[in-house]
Amino acid sequence: MKYVIIGGDAAGMTAAMEIVRNDKKAQITTLEQTEIYSYGQCGLPYVVDGRIPSTDDLIARSVQVFREKYGIDARTGHKVTHVDAGKQIVYGEGFEVPYDKLLIATGAAPIMPKWDNATLAGIHTIKTIPQMHDLLRDATEAKKVAVIGGGYIGLEMAEVLKEAGKDVCIIQRGAQLAKMLDADMVHHVHEQAMQHDVAVYLDTAVTGFNGEVKVEAVVTNKGTIEADLVIVAVGVKPSTDFLADTAILRLKNGAIVVDPHMATSVENIYAAGDCATHFNRVKQSADYVPLGTTANKQGRIAGLSMAGKFVRFKGITGTSILKFFDLAIATTGLNEVSAQQLNRSYHVYELTANHIAGYYPEPKPLFIKVLVEKKTERLLGAQIIGEAGVDKRIDVFATALMQELTLRDLLDLDLAYAPPFNGVWDALQQLAKRNVPV
């Protein structure tokens, strides 16, 4: 069986390893357009301020390991430009590779809007190790940094650049940072930026840049903002344009529609990771939430399915967490905006509680907001912000969402307790206890 995988990172190589384990006669060819395989993209920001010493530390397995240890024909510098599903051949500049089964795992690429002078030196997007190397080179002499976009990458980059000693601002087109949060929760993020001297420009639309060869300022609808280094973090787009002339079904944003086995609408073609759709269990529909955790899970399912092991991807709840200076910011399920878009009727419950026993040294506040469906009393979503204990609670809530639990069900969970780790009633259970009628 000839397996071809387009893309040599999380989803693609996870799939490749599952095929290696489950089909001993497999002939596997992987086609990666860069020179680097299998690395942790989510760790890239933390190279900027030295928390991670080198981008080399992010590489899980080198291309040589895949070739020599696992017998994979792992190719670099191979950008696929066309797929002929009828002939079952993939094409690129100077090469063609036939397949029996094909996996598309091309990921997503940062969006760069068509702003004036966007090609000036010093303007960067962050997705790959070579892009990070370019940024590190320019950051050495930079003093004033503008981060365009207040989402996950924008907030992380603002933090690490500030910690690296730069003067940093964030420019956000909308009325708030962290759009994954509801408006009544985001003030914690805005206050954190203020406390760490990160200037925030809200309702500010970028139109272009000033400079001769290198960027000198960001031009917006409210004036110019000086900057000798710019990070553009306004979102990503699935890297699937090369499929435009195929019959593979895609969403409007280009994400490839897949079934629970990661099969596409075209026979013998599969897709996984940031280029594919992700079934959202709370929304009960195809979604697009590009995260490394999901890419690895979908890659595993794709590889097993291609090798004849028909397991199912059970979906996501949209769980995410990020660090912004002293805060952890976490969400799972629906926020109010998405619940209203889906016409879901819901209750809102909020609580501020300690992350550990209140009498134990240095308890930190947790700010919790939970949505519960009115008709079924099922949990719909949570937003949790705090300096400590956030990750534990969001994971508990995400697990509860996967099992379709109700607010009342949280009271029965047998959660770990000792004063250095928790209160006798966990913060989530405190919220439930205050709002569940007897």
Catalytic residue IDs: 42
User: Which of 390, 391, 430 lies closest to 410, judged by CA?
Assistant: 430
Look up tokens 């960027």; give the residue: 215
Query: Maximum distance among all alpha carbons in the chain?
Result: 71
User: Which of 316, 252, 264 lies closest to 285, judged by CA?
Assistant: 316
Report whether 72 contacts 46 (CB < 8 A): no
Positive or negative, the CA dihedral 161, 164, 166, 167 is positive
Report whether 398 contacts 319 (CB < 8 A): yes
Residue 307 DSSP SS3 = coil
H-run or E-run covering 237 = strand 236-238
Q: What is the rounded distance in angstroms from the CA atom of residue 168 to the CA atom of residue 197?
A: 8
H-run or E-run covering 367 = strand 365-373
Q: What is the rounded distance in angstroms from the CA atom of residue 9 to the CA atom of residue 169?
A: 32
Residue 139 DSSP SS3 = helix
Within 13 A of 318's CA, how many CA atoms are on the CB side? Answer: 24
Look up residue 435 and give its two tokens: 């709002």
Residue 15 CB coordination number (10 Å): 32
DSSP assignment of 31-71, as one string? E-SSS--SB-GGGGGGGTTTSS--GGGGBSS-HHHHHHTT-
Within 13 A of 57's CA, how many CA atoms are on the CB side? Answer: 11
Residue 322 DSSP SS3 = strand
Report whether 333 contacts 344 (CB < 8 A): no
User: Which of 152, 227, 167, 220 lies closest to 198, judged by CA?
Assistant: 167
Look up residue 112 and give its two tokens: 């760069």
- The single-letter code of the amino acid at 145 is V
